[in-house]
């Protein structure tokens, strides 16, 4: 298994863990109430500095009650180096 495949596997495991917390009604990442969260995989956001979209492996978007825009973001980049076990 190459490093990309290992990173993708880690990403899938993290997403499944967070999504499982979300659908079970638990606090996502043990911090954010599930009813205020969305969990995304391979989500893109526009970066003004790069003037292009940047893709994140796993993202948690947190919203206030009644708001459509996220007020907080948690992002995870799952990378595995060749020296990792």
Q: What is the pLDDT of residues 12-70, one digit of tens each?
A: 998 999 999 999 988 887 888 899 899 999 999 898 999 999 888 898 888 888 888 88
Cβ atoms of residues 40 and 32 within 8 Å: no
Sign of the CA dihedral with 39 first, then 42, 44, and 50 last: positive
49: left (phi over 0), alpha (psi -120 to 50) or beta: alpha
Q: What does the block give as tokens for 10? A: 């880690």
Beta strands, E only, 1-85: 37-47, 52-62, 72-76
Q: pTM for this one?
A: 0.76
């Amino acid at each position: 298994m190459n490093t990309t495949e290992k990173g993708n596997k880690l990403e899938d495991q993290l997403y499944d863990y967070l999504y499982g917390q979300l659908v079970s009604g638990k606090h996502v990442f043990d911090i954010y109430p599930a009813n205020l969260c969305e969990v995304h995989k391979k989500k893109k956001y526009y970066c003004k500095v790069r003037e292009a979209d940047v893709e994140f492996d796993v993202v948690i978007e947190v919203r206030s009650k009644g708001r459509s825009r996220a007020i907080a973001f948690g992002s995870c980049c799952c990378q595995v180096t060749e020296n990792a076990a």
